[in-house]
Amino acid sequence: MNNLEKHIIASRQKFDSQEPSSGHMERFEQKLLRRQTRSLFARIPYAVKAAAVLLLVALSSILIYEQARIYYQNQRVISLRDISQEFGEAEFYYTTLIHSKYQEIDRLDIDDPKQKEVLMSELDEMDKLFHSLQKDFQANPTDERVINAMISHYQLKLEIMSQIIKQLEEVNKVNKIYKDHEGNEI
């Protein structure tokens, strides 16, 4: 045996002579009872907790969906076809013609790249004007003046593009004649 064990055995009576203070057992029992009474959250069954979480998730999903729907409704662009079928057909007709005129301009030879750049920037300026008309239309889709201005813009752009194509074709004819005659000596 070592010294510690010998000391404990020799002093056993001194160790057992100490008693806890009065009321110790009662305080100990009260602490045990407090531990046995669980908190409100601990008393709620697991299924009820899961149902509450699912309810919160469902409600937040519905809220997010409604907010997104309202946002996208406000972001939706109104077109002339939303006003009436006739306006929609007119819009389709003009946009199709304008698209074909762009393709026709691209097919034509423009010798000077700077000239083509100027031409395209002018057409872009017209598009910017049209975008401002579209913003006005979004703000007030029932305003006849804005609708008429949009249709007039389509007509004017088509007319200008037709004139540009006509002039480019004439320039190309003159250039072709000049190139053909350039090879022949007088």
Q: Tell me the per-residue pLDDT of 55-105, one tens digit each, with 9 for 90 and over.
A: 999 999 999 988 888 777 666 667 777 777 888 888 899 999 999 998 888
Of 54, 76, 98, at which residue does a domain stop? 76
Q: Is the pLDDT of residue 39 over 70?
A: no
The answer to whether residues 173 and 130 belong to one domain is yes
What's residue 41's pLDDT?
Answer: 65
In a domain, 53, yes or no: yes
Q: What is the mean pLDDT of residues 19-37?
A: 77
What average pLDDT does the chain have?
82
Residue 48 sits in the same domain as residue 103: no
* Any domain includes 117: yes
Residues 71 and 83 both lie in one domain: no
User: Per-residue pLDDT for 186 more than 60?
Assistant: no
Among residues 76, 106, 121, which one ends one of the domains?
Answer: 76
Q: What is the pLDDT of residue 56?
A: 92
Q: Which residues, 6 or more positions from 141, have their beta carbon under 8 angstroms from its beta carbon?
A: 78, 82, 83
Residue 186 CA to residue 180 CA, distance in Å, equals 12
Residue 76 pLDDT: 62
Residue 124, H or E segment? helix 113-139
Specify the pLDDT at position 93.
92
Same domain, 167 and 102: yes
- If asked whether residues 93 and 52 sit together in one domain, one would say no
**Same domain for 56 and 87:** no
CA distances (Å), origin 43, targets 36, 47, 92: 11, 12, 67
**Number of domains observed in the structure of the chain:** 2
70 and 30 share one domain? yes
Evaluate whether residue 150 is within a structural domain. Answer: yes
Res 38 pLDDT > 70: no
> Residue 137's pLDDT is what?
84
Return left, alpha or beta for 168; rule: phi > 0 is left, psi -120 to 50 is alpha, else beta: alpha
Shared domain check, 83 and 65: no
Residue 174 lies in a domain: yes
Residues 116 and 144 in one domain: yes
Domain identity same for 160 and 101: yes
* Residue 41 belongs to some domain of the structure: yes
- Give the per-residue pLDDT at 54: 92
- For residues 88 and 136, membership in a common domain is answered with yes
- Name the phi and psi angles at 43, rounded to 5: -80, -20
Task: Report the SS3 class of residue 153.
Answer: helix
Q: Is the pLDDT of residue 185 over 60?
A: no
Question: Which domain covers residue 102, as residue numbers?
Answer: 79-183
Dist CA 89 CA 81 (whole Å): 7
d(CA 122, CA 102): 13
Q: Is 60 exceeded by the pLDDT of residue 150?
A: yes
Domain-embedded: residue 12:
no
- Tell me what pLDDT residue 100 has: 93
136 & 94 share domain: yes
Q: Which of 76, 106, 141 is the last residue of a domain?
A: 76
